[in-house]
Structure 1
Amino acid sequence: MTVTDRTRYERRLGWWLSAPAVILMLAVTAYPMLNAVYLSLFSYRLTDPGGRRFVGLSNYGVVLSDPLWWEDVVTTAIITVITVSAELVIGFAFAMVMHRITIGRRTVRTSILVPYGVITVVSAFAWRYAFALDSGFVDNWLHLGTFDWFGNRWSAIAVICLSEIWKTTPFISLLLLAGLAQVPETLHEVASVDGATFWQRLFKVTIPNMKPAIMVALLFRTLDAWRIFDNVFVTTAGAQGTETLSFLTYRQSVTRVALGIGSAVSVLLFLSVVLIAFVFVKGFRTDLGSVRGDTR
């Protein structure tokens, strides 16, 4: 299969358009990233600067051999899978509504996108108080008496996931809405004439032509969910087995001022993000030219 000149041009154009943002991001983040790698090679506590000594890759061995790291990996993975899966389904439904509705379109779109405009910390505090043991109103609504949502691992994770889903579903719906706008309406009309049902048109026409948009939405949201910190910090502070990888980095670097171990955790977190991005890109193998049919 040969790639057309148009596809090659679009690939080059994509690199040129993204180059300024990439250069700017590297200019801002290159030094902190390199400094984190450097500090991860030392046994270094901020309270004992004179005791810093080179230990090579020992810090990475300490982190990877600690069960706490793997427990946090599992917790982060659970939150990521639950939130991203739910957000994809709900976000796609919202995108369909925003795309098809004709009466009150602006009002509906604004209402759906409102949660994404709320600062994450503010949203987390609101959900924390809603499910609080002493001041929460959710227990009264559900007639649960005085259920301690944050006193149990799974109920606490459920609250965190609900908060994330409420806050970031509009982000995915916005990306999917852009993908829906790229699906030619003529394809739906032809499928309808051929007698295709709504679900057949959805899975045979709409979703295949939205593959690039779906990949972008899943990639961005998965990477964001994998680095979840502020929601956990506000709601549970990592208690009851809800500590995530980002929170572990914070606890080691800021709370325990163990910069060597904390830097090693942050580097491993960064590498896991790169790995996830690589798997997504290679797994989807999305090419706009092939979707459009520009191959020969």
Structure 2
Amino acid sequence: MMARTRLAWAYLAPLLITLALVAAWPLLRTIAFSLTDANLSDLSQWQFVGLANYAYLLSDPQWWRAVGNTLLFTLLSVGLETILGLVIALTINAHMPGRGLVRAAILIPWAIPTVVSAKMWAWMLHDLYGVVNVLLMNLGLIDRPWAWLADPTLSMAAVVLVDVWKATPFMALLILAALQVLPLDIYEAARVDGIGPVKSFFHITLPLIRPALLIAVIFRSLDALRVFDVIYVLTGNNENTATMSVYARQQLVDFQDVGFGSTAATCLFVIIALITTAVITLGRVHVSASGNDR
């Protein structure tokens, strides 16, 4: 038994060392910087300020607005992506002609780099010559061009729609993988008992794919909570859409305040960790060796 334990640790050692180098060390260094007044112009000159940066951050209304923007973006984007991904996965899972072609086609948005797709949508949503405004005006849905990325009432909706277009295929493929391993005999028994497709979905399909669905939601929520690229490319430092990552980047790069920027980054990490823990706890998902949901 001891030999197997030592062998297991020997196999895990390279992974643990890699994680310590690429994850633990940068995180600890960021936390250390958050307790100082370090400046990007000269990182060797700094003074310990304790929790002063955290006190100022918690009193900054711009930070709390960034927190609200991040949570709103996460709620809207992940919610829409889950619903659309479930619909797409159920459609592809059905026996239909051209299913393989459709499965490959939905990967296109996910395969395009985020910066490229965000820039593409920035041109399409341009208020003067964007194709979206032209199409909507030709259809008679609007009577004048809309400033999708500049209007405070439209900018958040615009970035959410771009993210939904980009990330829905990811959700669809994860849900599809769960659907394809479901036992078919359960559905055959349900049909014999006269249970319709709608009732089968809510009482059979949804409970069986719930662990995989929750894991997909957690993965997408982690991405959405730390979103930076799509929002920064589309709207820059616009306070109507600026997230916690955009706020931290502005402090670190634009203002060159490494200490305060590290404080924002540390708080971002803590918020993501707490939300992820809460989702896992409330979802009661326990991944064991047998893969059972307990």
- Same-fold status (TM-score > 0.5): yes
2:99 counterpart of 1:105: yes
Q: Are 2:266 and 1:262 equivalent residues in the alignment? A: no
Equivalent of 2:26 in 22, 32, 54? 32
TM-aligned CA deviation for residue 134 of structure 1? 2.2
**Structure 2 unmatched ranges of 5 or more:** 1-8
Note if contact 1:130-1:137 (Cα within 8 Å) is conserved in structure 2.
Answer: yes
- Of residues 42, 55, 72 in structure 1, which corresponds to 2:36? 42
Aligned length: 281
Seen in structure 2, the aligned counterparts of structure 1 residues 160 and 16 have a Cα distance that, compared at 3 Å, is: farther
Give the whole-Å Cα distance in 1 for the aligned partners of 2:148 and 2:180.
41
* CA deviation after TM superposition for structure 1 residue 189, in Å: 1.2
Contact 1:127 1:159 in 2 (8 A): no
Q: Out of 87, 95, 98, which is 1:93 matched to?
A: 87
Q: 2:114 aligns with which of 82, 107, 120?
A: 120
Q: Which residue of 1 aligns with 2:237?
A: 238
Identity over aligned pairs, percent? 34
Residues 62-211 of structure 1 correspond to what in structure 2 (within 5 A)?
62-143=56-137, 144=142, 145-211=144-210
Amino acid at match of 1:158: A
Instruction: Give the RMSD, CA atoms, in angstroms.
Output: 2.4
Counterpart for residue 53 of structure 1: 47
Report how far residue 49 of structure 1 moved: 5.1
Name the CA shift for 1:203/1:240 in 2 (closer, same or farther; >3 Å): same
Cα distance change of structure 1 residues 62 and 240 upon mapping to structure 2, 3 Å threshold: closer
> How many angstroms does 1:102 deviate by?
3.9
CA contact (8 A) 1:40 1:263 kept: yes
Corresponding position: 1:272 with 2:266: no
Deviations 1:145-182 (A, max 9, x none): 22211222231111100110000000011110111122
Structure 1: where are the runs of 5+ without partners? 1-14
User: Is the CA contact 1:252–1:259 (under 8 Å) kept in the aligned structure 2?
Assistant: yes
2:3: which partner in 1?
A: none
